Structure 1
Amino acid sequence: MGPWEGPWPDDPRYDPELLEHGDRRNVVDRYRYWTVEAVVADMDQRRDADALLHVAIENWAHDLNIGSVVRTANAFNVAGVHVVGRRRWNRRGAMVTDRYLHVHHRPDAGDLAAWAAAEGLAVIGVDNVPGSVPLERRELPARCVLLLGQESSGLTAEAQAVCDVVVHITQHGSTRSMNAGAAAAIAMHSWALQHL
C-alpha cells in the first residue's frame, strides 16, 4: 500500500511514517498503517483467556524451522512462542512476524513445564515417538502449550517427561517423519479447529 491518500486518521494506532511513505508489510488489511505496538495490543486483546494456545520448540542445534513455527504461530494468533534451549534462533523464516508475537526463552523443558503449570496450561508434545497417540480426532485442551522437538532428533527425553501427553500426526507415506515446521502448522490448525 502506498502513502495514505486523503486526510490522515486521528487515531493513535496509526504510524505517521507508514502513513507518509506507505505500508509494505505483510499484514492483513485490518492492520495497515498501524504501529507494531498497536497491532500487538489488538492481537492480545482478541485472544480468549479460556482458549489460550502457546507453542514451544526445542533449540539445541540452531534449528532453522523455528522461524517457520513463529510465522505460523502468528497466523493463529498464539499467545506466545517459547524457544527452549539455545536463546539464539534463525529469524529469517519468521519473515518479521516475531515482531507481532511474544517470544520467550526457556533454558530447558523443566523451566517450560514449571511456567506452564503456574499458568494452568497443559503441555502437549508433538512427535512420533513410541507411546505417542494419534492427533487425529483427539480432543486438545483449550489451554495448552504445543511442544515440538528439534528437526533432526525430535523431542528430547527431558521434554517428553514434562508432557501431559505426546501426540503424533498419522502419516501414510514412506518417510519416517515430516518437517517440524509442517508438523507445528498441522498441530496448531487442529487446535484451532476445536477452539477458535
Structure 2
Amino acid sequence: MAEGYVGIGIFMPRSETNMGTLWRSASLLGASFIFTIGRRYQKQSSDTNKSWAQIPLYNYTDFEDFFRHLPYSCQLVGVELDEKAVPVEQFQHPERCVYLLGAEDHGLPPTVLSKCHHLVQLPGKTSLNVASAGTVVLYDRHFKKQLGQK
C-alpha cells in the first residue's frame, strides 16, 4: 500500500467527549486529520496526548459542506452496520480515504450512505462506542499496511 493519507470523523456526534478519544487514537494510528459534521469540538480531558497539536481538526456545518470539501481522488468510507457493508476483516483500505462514523444513537442516514464509495462493518450485531469504532478501523488499516496489504 502506498503511503497515501487518511482522515476520520463523526457525523452528528452525540457526545463531544468521544472526539478527544478519537483524536488521540487518530494521532497514534497515523491519521492525517479528523473532523466533525454538525457539531463543534470542545477541548476534552480524554485527549491526554494533546493530539490537537499534531493533527488538524476540521468542522463542517452539514454533510453537503463536508462532501464539497472532500479531497480530490479521495474515497469516502462509511463505517456502519449495513447489509451492503464489507466486514472489516475483508476490507481493502483505499490509499487515500476518509472514514465517516455515525453517532451511536443514529448511525449514518441513508442519504449519507448513498454518497459513500465504500461501506465497512465492524464485528458484532450492535454498534460500538464511536471512538472505539474509529480506533478499530484505524488499527485495521495500520495492521494491514504493516503486513503490506490494503
Query: Under a length normalisation based on structure 1, what TM-score does the superposition of the two structures give?
Result: 0.66
Q: How does 1:71-86 map to 2 (within 5 A)?
A: 71-86=24-39
Matched, 1:115 2:69: yes
Could you tell me how far apart the structure 1 residues matched to 2:106 and 2:16 are? Answer: 11
When the two structures are aligned, how many residues end up with a matched partner? 145
Deviation digits for residues 117-175 of structure 1 (CA, Å, limit 9, x no counterpart): x422100011113322211121110110011111222123333222111110122xxx6
Q: Tell me what 2:56 maps to.
A: 102
Matched, 1:125 2:78: yes
CA distance change for structure 1 residues 73 and 60 in 2, over 3 Å: closer, same or farther? closer
Q: Does the CA contact (< 8 Å) of 2:19 and 2:41 recur in 1?
A: no
**C-alpha RMSD of the superposition:** 2.2
- Flag the structure with higher helix content: 1
Could you tell me how far apart the structure 2 residues matched to 1:137 and 1:73 are? Answer: 21
Could you tell me how far apart the structure 2 residues matched to 1:90 and 1:58 are? Answer: 18
Q: 1:97: Cα distance to partner?
A: 1.8
Q: Tell me what 1:193 maps to.
A: 143
Larger radius of gyration: 1
In percent, how many aligned pairs have the same letter? Answer: 22
Give the letter for the 2:74 counterpart.
L
Q: 1:82: Cα distance to partner?
A: 1.0
Q: Tell me what 1:178 maps to.
A: 128
Q: 1:77: Cα distance to partner?
A: 2.5
Query: Which secondary structure state, in structure 2, belongs to the residue aligned with residue 182 of structure 1?
Result: helix
Q: Does the CA contact (< 8 Å) of 2:104 and 2:127 recur in 1?
A: no
CA distance change for structure 1 residues 179 and 62 in 2, over 3 Å: closer, same or farther? closer
Structure 1 alignment gaps of length 5 or more? 1-48
Give the letter for the 2:93 counterpart.
L
- Flag the structure with higher strand content: 2
Q: Runs of at least 4 residues of structure 1 off by over 3 A?
A: 60-63
Structure 2 alignment gaps of length 5 or more? none
